[in-house]
Structure 1
């Protein structure tokens, strides 16, 4: 007598299939697993053919695995910026894993426990609990897929469609949906065919399907006769899906998790270096890419979040981060299949037709103009739910463009300025500290006396007339608060952050070597930077540089020892502490402007500092109205990644779009009087955007330092006025 006939709650596993069908099922199971494993092995073997990655990707592996599991299972990164999509995907993931686990449990019972123990655990309360949980989670699975299907085909959400959208995307999502629906159909036919066993009410979805079939006129006999066809249809679809996982988009279910496990927590803010070997190539072929960069390509789910966040794409530049990653993947797969090798990146590809010449004679995979469009703002990486490190691959291709001499002429001129004069303006280093001439007190020379803060002023505050005002405002704040600081005068050179992101690695190393030598000659406790770009590179990149690797290169002059590092701060972090200590004497009511604040990419998204500038703005008494895109969602000014030195043919500049947003999309709207920044490059870009966008009469661009010094002056004037009033009321005796 079967367990079902004895009355114990359970269900037969091969009901109506027969011994031949059962044998065929096991044969197909083994075949499917073999195909899956071979396909997965080929994928992993291909990664092994990539170059070694210079960063530690597998250190502290248990922590990485657990952390990645938490990220993936919670769908935390998918809910960021799109709660509906994140929850829908979470339903799909949780439902899929539950169904996978349920199938595994059933297989363990049938193929291991029953033969060994002579009985089944798939009965009674266990079976009832199992059935309820599987039905509930399977319903989440189907509902989640329904939402995703509606967003893809109903509203046709733009970021889900693009040049790389193909039939595999349709097959993937519909196969999952049909698997979910097919499971319930199979269950419904079985429940109806078995005459509605009372305990099967726990399978509430399957019970509902059975009732619907019954209501449509199907009898138990018809359901029993049809069940094998439905069961085989569901099983064959499952086999086909599993076998296809390593062959296309479904593989992201594995590669995305691996990508999260192996990601670099400092990716972007800390770029990998290049080997000292002059024979080494950067992106001459796809074989130059590291195994992690190849994994990035396979981890891409085509979700388009990076594209939607990219300010270059929004401005009409020929860059779509998703397409670049997928162009590389498509080319790699075609090359592996035997297609002719072509250049990865060059300036001979029409930027208006990115990727189209990838397989045409004389073309390349990526256009130089596409890479030049990148602002190195990290918006794509911040938006990516699977931790793809776009900027690492982009920088690799920029380095190849430098090797080939294919960079924009203006960038090459900037390189020349740095090489000849030590700064991006091509000005004499003797004039570097001229910005300080109007000050009442000359900054201390950190080369000659010990200071608490070594102030790295930077190129733009030193040579750009508009930003000189910012430098003087900051110097006055330091003097007002009694800060012990000094500068390097003409020993200060360009820090190299952006030339590195444009691809000139060796020039970056030379600049770093010069500055590290200067740092080593000074006595100081901390470094404070005007520019977030310098702040990032001193804090995250200089300590990682291995100068000794280049010691034998006759063309390179490097320090005898690597830099030990020092505490590095952006000036807003230092001044925030001064304000908190009362050293600027601000009461918080000096100014009454309505302002908005723009988060610089290198201060905010790169280094997570969002509050110090805001606290300083509030300390002046100004009303701060936030723009819709703020903090980690901030929209780049357009100056990063060398954008400050290039000209682009774009209908709306990023800086113009940002100023429009400040005046039209904030809650305060046109009452916003000042657009507050905390980066010299942002100041330059927004002053330009204010002119070209027609905003000159509507809003003023000011640095936080300028706002603070105005508040200090108001406080001082109020103090003088109060003193004069007291003197008039209580005149001194004759």
Structure 2
């Protein structure tokens, strides 16, 4: 291309690069791609060494890739609770992808259409559009990197710093900055060295830099440039002095070498998240956390004795982590100064794995103190609230790895004495309180009507009451309220009386898998002998495990085990033919169908509502409870952290049965939020819950936090039963009385 052609819409690709330089560049490209490919091979071969994952991760792959591309390209997870972070990452991602595509376009033309077909399309209008888009998106890329550097180094956002912060984080961000800025400096030098053609104004950033070169009067070697027309290499002549051509030559090589270094470095450090994160999103389990992987009946199977016990997906999770700290920033355990940081657990496992791969010494994965990778106290702190997973922009399934660690703790006997007592209570009496199974339905004695026995008569709703509504005095009022609501709606419902046992949800998350299987087998076998349309649960924890986990169990694998007291061999509710509902969903249906009249009710309370983790984040049910609250006439004032951003009460994952030295308790912090951070502030009269565990934790937090005179803890069922004027039938007292 000659000087006259440079005035047209187009440019020379290798301006000022000699034949030797051209060959050297492509030799470096080949070496770079080889190093890159080998690094990717090492990564994926390591995944192949991981254990098989129990869930289908690659089924319907085209659909998975399309949906994952939408998630990644839209950056929807990055915008979650962080507008600044969402914009920053969007600018970087969109800019980087545009620059990558722009580079591929040049290569495609040179080595396919032009070389093979003799067709050149990178000129004229296409070239002008190309240059404008590349400059615009390249500028967004640099702005995004600048935003990241401002947040990291100026603001020093707390969640970006931790014990796993390292020099590779700095090298990553500065390399990207160098690529973005270096590309524009190279473009500006090229435009200036070629006489600032008018059409290059579309490259508005590069043209602006060229105008700076012009303003400071950087010399050019016009004669050398003319010599290029006659087939003479001008780069050597340009190198004799300080001129635009020399600057362009230096910028070209420095930018090229930096780009090649970055490509070669990708599989070996933090930049690999650009690949592993997308792979992680593609292979995600939509029900992750809500359903946990089952364990084999083989007693010789191990959970986390070694790093090789982890599945390939759990290893991929570790590589996908970008150290962004979003999981840590929303973790209620960390906020309460419990010794848990979700990011550190994932990265500790990754670091240990990499040390082993480099010849390091083996050590216990989890143990009580010592030199283990993870301390038992760390995992005891987890509330299984799934806030970490909900906040993670790359779909890391923390709870899968955490449960594996908990199961190993249980196998080793490294669990808190209080949890051992709970396990013993469940094994001996079928409930976490250790009370007699014969007393399970005593809560109903004070009702003015009889509750049907679902084992003996057909009912519409088989109501699973749960441990706390059955045995805890405060939650018995909730049970009586709900029974009265169902009675007033004139629907048939029944309970299992002493055949009802603990659902197993939370002891499973603590790691007691085989006791959970025993409980599940008992329940499904009991349900098979009953006639009902739907299962209704008081507790969101029961609702989740019946809906999402019981159908996953392979009961046949355990049926021959003499330790398992059931003969059931089918897969229960595999097709979802039995509806499993939380009671708020069932009652909301009754209200909509006109079976329960809440029109015209005016309780006139100012209330706020706490979303239970197992109803909200686990199962995306946010509206049914709110609709019932509004139907009672209460003025609902939302807390700042609501719906999927709700803050755990502290009772999940066994937290209900453990004592922690924490300040403040999650329950205390949540009540403070209700009284100080809502619009109504101290005007909030009632803190409304829809979970028996939440009721227990918040009643405790109200006392320990000194809020007894400031607010009342009530269940939605208590509001509804008061709204329909049936609280006396439920034998409960309300403030209105």
Does TM-score exceed 0.5, indicating one fold?
yes
Structure-to-structure mapping, 1:536-575, within 5 angstroms: 536-558=544-566, 559-564=568-573, 566-575=578-587
Instruction: Tell me if 1:88 matches 2:88.
Output: yes
Instruction: Tell me if 1:449 matches 2:453.
Output: no
Alignment equivalent of 2:501, drawn from 461, 481, 493: 493
Name the counterpart of 2:231. Answer: none
Name the counterpart of 1:524. Answer: 532
Q: How far is the alpha carbon of 1:518 from its aligned partner?
A: 0.9
Instruction: Tell me if 1:535 matches 2:540.
Output: no
Name the counterpart of 1:669. Answer: 681
Q: Is the 8 A contact 1:50 1:287 kept in 2?
A: yes
Deviation digits for residues 634-684 of structure 1 (CA, Å, limit 9, x no counterpart) = 000000000000000101100000000000000000000000000000000
Looking at structure 1, the residues matched to 529 and 463 of structure 2 have their Cα atoms a distance apart, in angstroms, of 14
Q: How far is the alpha carbon of 1:580 from its aligned partner?
A: 2.5
Q: How far is the alpha carbon of 1:517 from its aligned partner?
A: 1.1
Alignment equivalent of 1:384, drawn from 384, 392, 401: 392
Deviation digits for residues 548-589 of structure 1 (CA, Å, limit 9, x no counterpart) = 112332322331322135210000111112223333332344
Looking at structure 2, the residues matched to 541 and 40 of structure 1 have their Cα atoms a distance apart, in angstroms, of 36
C-alpha RMSD over aligned residues: 1.4
Q: Is the 8 A contact 1:586 1:715 kept in 2?
A: no
Specify the SS of the correspondent of 1:437. Answer: helix
Looking at structure 2, the residues matched to 76 and 651 of structure 1 have their Cα atoms a distance apart, in angstroms, of 33
Q: How far is the alpha carbon of 1:110 from its aligned partner?
A: 2.0
Instruction: Tell me if 1:655 matches 2:667.
Output: yes
Structure-to-structure mapping, 1:326-725, within 5 angstroms: 326-349=347-370, 363-558=371-566, 559-564=568-573, 566-713=578-725
Q: Is the 8 A contact 1:316 1:650 kept in 2?
A: yes
Q: How far is the alpha carbon of 1:219 from its aligned partner?
A: 2.5
Q: Is the 8 A contact 1:492 1:515 kept in 2?
A: yes
Looking at structure 2, the residues matched to 552 and 571 of structure 1 have their Cα atoms a distance apart, in angstroms, of 35
Name the counterpart of 2:224. Answer: none
Name the counterpart of 1:724. Answer: none
Q: How far is the alpha carbon of 1:4 from its aligned partner?
A: 5.4
Name the counterpart of 2:31. Answer: 31
Which has the larger displacement, 249-258 or 102-111? 102-111
Instruction: Tell me if 1:269 matches 2:281.
Output: no
Specify the SS of the correspondent of 2:446. Answer: coil
Looking at structure 1, the residues matched to 216 and 555 of structure 2 have their Cα atoms a distance apart, in angstroms, of 78
Name the counterpart of 2:735. Answer: none
Q: 1:638 to 1:118 in 2, by over 3 A?
A: same
Looking at structure 2, the residues matched to 97 and 613 of structure 1 have their Cα atoms a distance apart, in angstroms, of 43
Looking at structure 1, the residues matched to 548 and 701 of structure 2 have their Cα atoms a distance apart, in angstroms, of 30
Deviation digits for residues 696-717 of structure 1 (CA, Å, limit 9, x no counterpart) = 0000000001111111228999
Name the counterpart of 1:108. Answer: 108
Q: Is the 8 A contact 1:590 1:715 kept in 2?
A: no
Looking at structure 2, the residues matched to 214 and 347 of structure 1 have their Cα atoms a distance apart, in angstroms, of 68
Looking at structure 1, the residues matched to 95 and 208 of structure 2 have their Cα atoms a distance apart, in angstroms, of 19
Q: How far is the alpha carbon of 1:235 from its aligned partner?
A: 0.5
Q: Give me the TM-score of the superposition, normalised by structure 1.
A: 0.94
Deviation digits for residues 37-84 of structure 1 (CA, Å, limit 9, x no counterpart) = 000000000000000001000011110000000100111111111111
Specify the SS of the correspondent of 2:77. Answer: helix
Specify the SS of the correspondent of 1:483. Answer: coil
Specify the SS of the correspondent of 1:79. Answer: coil
Deviation digits for residues 220-274 of structure 1 (CA, Å, limit 9, x no counterpart) = 3411122111111100000000000000100000000000000000000000101
Q: Is the 8 A contact 1:4 1:11 kept in 2?
A: no
Looking at structure 1, the residues matched to 95 and 597 of structure 2 have their Cα atoms a distance apart, in angstroms, of 59
Specify the SS of the correspondent of 1:702. Answer: strand
Specify the SS of the correspondent of 1:592. Answer: coil
Instruction: Tell me if 1:252 matches 2:273.
Output: yes
Looking at structure 2, the residues matched to 620 and 512 of structure 1 have their Cα atoms a distance apart, in angstroms, of 36
Looking at structure 2, the residues matched to 113 and 598 of structure 1 have their Cα atoms a distance apart, in angstroms, of 61
Deviation digits for residues 349-375 of structure 1 (CA, Å, limit 9, x no counterpart) = 4xxxxxxxxxxxxx1000101000000
Name the counterpart of 1:355. Answer: none
Looking at structure 1, the residues matched to 627 and 112 of structure 2 have their Cα atoms a distance apart, in angstroms, of 64
Specify the SS of the correspondent of 1:455. Answer: strand
Q: How far is the alpha carbon of 1:280 from its aligned partner?
A: 0.8
Name the counterpart of 1:174. Answer: 174
Name the counterpart of 1:9. Answer: 9
Looking at structure 1, the residues matched to 247 and 603 of structure 2 have their Cα atoms a distance apart, in angstroms, of 79
Q: Give me the TM-score of the superposition, normalised by structure 2.
A: 0.94
Name the counterpart of 2:152. Answer: 152
Q: Is the 8 A contact 1:423 1:494 kept in 2?
A: yes
Q: Is the 8 A contact 1:3 1:10 kept in 2?
A: no
Which has the larger displacement, 218-227 or 308-317? 218-227
Q: How far is the alpha carbon of 1:620 from its aligned partner?
A: 1.0
Q: 1:678 to 1:240 in 2, by over 3 A?
A: same
Specify the SS of the correspondent of 1:713. Answer: coil
Q: Is the 8 A contact 2:721 2:727 kept in 1?
A: no
Which runs of 5 or more structure 1 residues have no equivalent in the other structure? 350-362, 718-734
Q: 1:13 to 1:273 in 2, by over 3 A?
A: same
Deviation digits for residues 307-340 of structure 1 (CA, Å, limit 9, x no counterpart) = 0010000000000000000000001000110010
Q: How far is the alpha carbon of 1:3 from its aligned partner?
A: 8.0
Q: Is the 8 A contact 2:334 2:340 kept in 1?
A: yes
Q: Is the 8 A contact 1:194 1:220 kept in 2?
A: no
Q: Is the 8 A contact 1:453 1:526 kept in 2?
A: yes
Looking at structure 1, the residues matched to 295 and 139 of structure 2 have their Cα atoms a distance apart, in angstroms, of 51
Looking at structure 1, the residues matched to 477 and 601 of structure 2 have their Cα atoms a distance apart, in angstroms, of 24
Which has the larger displacement, 581-590 or 182-191? 581-590
Specify the SS of the correspondent of 2:95. Answer: helix
Q: 1:230 to 1:6 in 2, by over 3 A?
A: closer
Instruction: Tell me if 1:298 matches 2:322.
Output: no
Which runs of 5 or more structure 2 residues have no equivalent in the other structure? 222-242, 730-737
Instruction: Tell me if 1:98 matches 2:98.
Output: yes
Structure-to-structure mapping, 1:121-270, within 5 angstroms: 121-221=121-221, 222-270=243-291
Paired residue total: 704
Looking at structure 2, the residues matched to 218 and 412 of structure 1 have their Cα atoms a distance apart, in angstroms, of 78
Q: How far is the alpha carbon of 1:112 from its aligned partner?
A: 2.8
Looking at structure 2, the residues matched to 549 and 432 of structure 1 have their Cα atoms a distance apart, in angstroms, of 31
Name the counterpart of 2:341. Answer: 320
Name the counterpart of 1:288. Answer: 309
Q: Is the 8 A contact 2:510 2:654 kept in 1?
A: yes
Looking at structure 2, the residues matched to 44 and 245 of structure 1 have their Cα atoms a distance apart, in angstroms, of 14
Q: Is the 8 A contact 1:252 1:299 kept in 2?
A: yes
Q: 1:716 to 1:447 in 2, by over 3 A?
A: closer
Q: How far is the alpha carbon of 1:118 from its aligned partner?
A: 3.3
Q: Is the 8 A contact 2:540 2:612 kept in 1?
A: yes
Q: Is the 8 A contact 1:410 1:645 kept in 2?
A: yes
Looking at structure 1, the residues matched to 167 and 569 of structure 2 have their Cα atoms a distance apart, in angstroms, of 58
Looking at structure 1, the residues matched to 559 and 596 of structure 2 have their Cα atoms a distance apart, in angstroms, of 47
Q: Is the 8 A contact 1:312 1:375 kept in 2?
A: yes
Q: 1:117 to 1:3 in 2, by over 3 A?
A: farther
Looking at structure 2, the residues matched to 408 and 214 of structure 1 have their Cα atoms a distance apart, in angstroms, of 73
